Amino acid sequence: MATCKYCGKSAGLLSRAHKECEEKHVVGIMTLRRLLEKYFQGTSSNVQTEVSRLRRENFINSNDITSEFGKALDDYTTRIRRPFSPQTPQIVTRLVAALGESFNSLDANGAISRFAQKLMKGSIAEYFTGHQNIASTQTAIHGIQVALPVSNDITSDTCYYMLEKAADNFLKDGLLTPQEDNMVNEYTRAFGIQPVNLPAKYQNGNIVRLTQAGILTGLQNGQLPIQMTSYPIVLAKSEVVLWNYEGVKMYEEKVQREYRGTHHGFSVRICKGVYYRPGVSRAKPVEHNYMNLEGTGSLYITNKNLIFNSSTRGVKIPYTKIIGLTPYSDGLELNRDGNAKRIVLQGFDSWFVMNVLSLVNNI
């Protein structure tokens, strides 16, 4: 004889639950759903008592609570709008205590993490819109981390995400004002963000362009950035690395020469299948230009040179030796003074380099 999965009593052959127990459970789920909705609307405070009764009378279990909690919290997260009060995280903290389940189990579908991210994004948005200083923003983020079980990875990704959004907004007009530049620098210092060492998904985004815009703003004002990182290249006196790109391919123009013979005269038959052609034979040189891959390595943009460095080739190109540039969406082609061959550098956005070249003469 099978037993009822709700009450544990005999349920008869081939049956896993009593019909009346199943009906009670369905009613319990709907009651729990309404209870959680009222709680997030601020009209219910006896959650603990009600949940205990539903466990006892309507066979509500931990899986039921986790599922309904996740749905209710996601709905609440969608509805709330900033600015958020410092007490907002306590809404979830108190509910978790009343439900009698752990944070980890209730966050099985990520509802608590999404709620925490919404609060953190809101606080950071208040900073970038000028409604909150950086100290208050740090305090708010710390408070959310303490109240809710948010991993450092989630917090870090949220900080990068909001900087990406701010970058998109700041660069809509193509300019970075001194005030915006100060806000970005203050924010990156406060949350330990290194624009030159970004997570993969942000390496080709607006954070890079924003940081580069800040460097260009400094160049416009005759200021070089402080060199914070050491590089495996030799720099000249007063030379500073402004930016570096990894995985750049360098191609250099090569000339391939081959000789093709030309012949003048008549063919004379000597015997069957054998002919002799007296006349004049000459070899004519034919040249072909092509771009040869010299290596894949790092490209350093300094205030004086473009420096390419790889395991197979190293080239320093002074800005004073560049006589022509062709920018591409994924690199640039340049011509140098003298007899030097053309060079193509591929694997980066040429926007920054072109702007650097237009400004370095002011330094």
Kindly report, residue by residue over 118-138, the tens digit of the pLDDT: 999 999 999 999 999 999 999
* pLDDT above 90 coverage of the chain, percent: 59
Structural domain contains residue 2? no
Task: Look at residue 260 and tell me whether its pLDDT is greater than 70.
Answer: no
The whole-number pLDDT of residue 70 equals: 96
Q: Which of 105, 120, 150 is the last residue of a domain?
A: 150
Q: What is the mean pLDDT of the chain?
A: 88
Q: Which of 91, 25, 27, 94 is nearest to 63 (CA)?
A: 25
CB contact set of 27 (below 8 Å; sequence gap of 6+): 58
Extract the tokens encoding 240: 């500073």
So what's the pLDDT on residue 149? 85
> Smallest Cα–Cα separation from 227: which of 215, 244, 242?
242
Q: Which residue has the tokens 């015997």?
A: 271
Is the peptide bond prior to 83 cis by the omega test (within 30 degrees of 0)?
yes
The parent domain of residue 119 ranges over 18-150
Q: Which two tokens stand for residue 280?
A: 């004049």
Q: Is the pLDDT of residue 195 over 80?
A: no
Write down the pTM of the prediction: 0.75
Domain membership of residue 334 (yes or no) is yes
Both structure tokens of 66: 């986790």
Residue 65 has pLDDT above 90, yes or no: yes
Q: Domain holding 321: CATH number?
A: 2.30.29.30
Looking at 134, 150, 166, the residue that finishes a domain is 150
Query: What total number of domains does the chain contain?
Result: 2
Task: Show which of 94, 120, 150 is a domain's final residue.
Answer: 150
Residue 139 has pLDDT above 90, yes or no: yes
Residue 229 pLDDT: 77
What is the rounded distance in angstroms from the CA atom of residue 254 to the CA atom of residue 343? 10
- Whether residues 26 and 133 share a domain: the answer is yes
Cβ count within 10 A of residue 46? 12
CA distance 221 to 239: 17
Residue 179 within any structural domain of the chain: no
Three-state secondary structure call for residue 59: coil
The Cβ-side half-sphere exposure at 28, using a 13 Å CA radius, reads 23
pLDDT in tens, 87-101: 999 999 999 999 999
Q: What is the mean pLDDT of residues 202-207?
A: 85
Rounded (10°) angle between helices 111-128 and 134-147 = 170
Beta bridge partners, 309, equal: 298, 314
